Amino acid sequence: MKDKTKLIQDIREFNRFYTRLIGLLDGHLLDSDYSLAEARILYEIYVGKQISASQIVATLSMDKGYVSRILKKFEKEGLINKQNFSTDARVSLLALSEKGLKVFHTLNRASHDQVDALIAPLAVAKQKELVMHMQQIMQILNGSGK
């Protein structure tokens, strides 16, 4: 069982590597008016279509007070619409407004371009290999690539 330690060390090396990479991507991205947390929440609302605050809290592992404040800000800026959830009066279902969609697309484009620049130097075959490895990792770690 000695080389289990080696495996773990290798994984942690990758974690450090990817922490740095994501840090660079996210960091440069944030010349926008929105924080990383805000961008992630915006993304969750976008894909969730009709999503509750507690779902966002769960999937992003964020503090519910923090999320509540950000959502309030979004609402004040007119980025989201709230809608009552039929069977539970405590929850509202959130969706992006037109303006919210515009902001999302702006951030989305910037993030897209970041990744584009990252893989631009690679041959297309390498790019495909890269994605394949990523999907394999997701599949191994949680049993689903999607």
CB of 101 to DNA, least distance (A): 21
Q: Kindly state the tokens that stand for 48.
A: 């969730």
- In the complex with DNA, the residue whose CB is nearer, 54 or 136, is 54
Question: Which of a second copy, DNA, none sits in contact with 24, Cβ below 5 to 8 A by type?
Answer: a second copy
CB of 43 to DNA, least distance (A): 14
Q: Is 17 in the site for a second copy (CB under 8 A)?
A: yes
Q: Is 15 in the site for a second copy (CB under 8 A)?
A: yes
With beta carbons less than 8 A apart as the criterion, state whether 93 and 85 touch: yes
CB of 5 to a second copy, least distance (A): 8
Our CA angle for 53, 19, 132, nearest 5°, is 90
Distance between CA atoms of residues 122 and 130, nearest Å = 10
User: How many CB atoms within 10 Å of residue 21?
Assistant: 11
Q: Is 58 in the site for a second copy (CB under 8 A)?
A: no
Q: Give the residue carrying structure tokens 């509750």.
A: 52
